[in-house]
């Protein structure tokens, strides 16, 4: 009974602040089913591909995340597909790409997507030592914040971070946790770093989702095959009864229902 109560408390700390599907102008769109407030103190690291814990999603709930942008030729197409279905996602930006495309960063934020961080230049941080790794993290955050708000800071307005290649170290994980930054792995992905057709990618991703039935999904908005596949994937989610959960930062204990 104690374990059951603990599970209920953990679920309550990350339950929805508001449903947004009703805000969508298209009645037949997939929509965003609910918004989940993520407190890094409660969920310092999530994603079963890297960690023992993930988010308390219900059956057939998914979180859409996109890495490595912004990249205008494809990120704009990803944004259009998401907007068409009234779906919100989380984008983990590379700092140098944000610095090169600040207007696109602001466009992502203006569409109500969450902005996470993915280092300055996508180096694998388990290979370069702690000082250089911290610099990669902080420089990336500062570039993202400058693009978003016009001022560089190593304190992220959205304290979400994903390691390039999921290449973390215990020291870096401890450092990010001490700074109140949640680290995201993933529960499943489409392996879109490998060349394949959009149709092949859709088949791979949907087969993995049918097995997992829920989870944090990793995609890359820099990949042309992903941008082409995404509209069909969103239709698949809608047709098969999946619900999209959008993540926002905050102290869950202070949220309003």
Q: pLDDT value at position 210?
A: 98
- Domain ranges in the chain are 33-250
Q: Which of 6, 14, 88 is nearest to 44 (CA)?
A: 14
11-54: per-residue pLDDT in tens? 333 433 333 445 678 889 999 999 999 999 999 999 999 999 99
Tens of pLDDT, residue by residue over 129-174, are 999 999 999 999 999 999 999 999 999 999 999 999 999 999 999 9
The catalytic position among 39, 220, 221, 246 is 220
What's the mean pLDDT in 200-222? 98
User: What is the bridge-based pairing of β-strands 160-161 and 188-189?
Assistant: unpaired
Q: What element of type H or E holds 36?
A: strand 34-38
Q: Please give the structure tokens belonging to residue 116.
A: 């996470």
Provide the CATH number for the domain formed by 33-250 in this structure.
Answer: 3.20.20.370
220 is catalytic: yes
Tens digit of each residue's pLDDT (9 = 90 or more) over 103-119: 999 999 999 999 999 99
Residue range 59-106, pLDDT digits in tens: 999 999 999 999 999 999 999 999 999 999 999 999 999 999 999 999
Mean pLDDT estimate for the chain: 91
Distance (Å, whole) CA 257 – CA 255? 7
Of residues 67, 138, 187, 192, which has the active-site annotation?
A: 67
Identify whether the C-beta of residue 243 lies closer than 8 Å to the C-beta of residue 62: yes
Q: Output phi, psi for 248, to 5 deg.
A: -135, 155
Residue carrying the six token digits 């016009």: 150
Biggest distance spanned by C-alpha atoms of the chain: 53
The radius of gyration of the chain from alpha carbons, rounded to an integer in Å, stands at 17
């Amino acid at each position: 009974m104690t374990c059951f109560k603990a599970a209920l408390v953990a679920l309550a700390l990350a339950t929805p602040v508001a449903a947004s599907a009703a805000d969508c102008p298209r009645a037949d769109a997939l929509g965003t089913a609910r918004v989940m407030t993520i407190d890094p103190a409660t969920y310092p690291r999530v994603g079963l591909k890297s960690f023992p814990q993930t988010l308390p999603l219900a059956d057939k709930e998914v979180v859409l995340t996109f890495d490595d942008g912004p990249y205008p030729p494809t990120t704009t197409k990803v944004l259009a597909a998401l907007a068409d279905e009234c779906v919100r996602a989380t984008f983990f930006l590379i700092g140098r790409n944000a610095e090169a495309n600040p207007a696109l960063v602001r466009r992502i934020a203006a569409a109500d997507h969450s902005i996470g961080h993915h280092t300055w230049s996508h180096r694998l941080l388990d290979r370069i030592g702690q000082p250089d790794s911290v610099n990669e993290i902080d420089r990336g955050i500062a570039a993202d914040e400058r693009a978003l708000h016009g001022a560089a800071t190593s304190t992220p307005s959205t304290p979400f971070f994903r390691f390039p290649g999921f290449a973390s170290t215990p020291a870096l994980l401890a450092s990010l946790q001490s700074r109140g930054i949640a680290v995201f792995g993933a529960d499943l992905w489409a392996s879109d770093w490998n060349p394949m057709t959009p149709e092949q990618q859709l088949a791979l991703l949907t087969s993995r989702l049918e097995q997992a039935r829920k989870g944090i999904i990793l995609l890359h908005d820099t990949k042309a095959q992903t941008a082409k596949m995404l509209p069909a994937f969103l239709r698949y989610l809608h047709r098969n009864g999946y619900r999209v959960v959008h993540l926002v930062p905050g102290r869950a204990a202070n949220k309003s229902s």
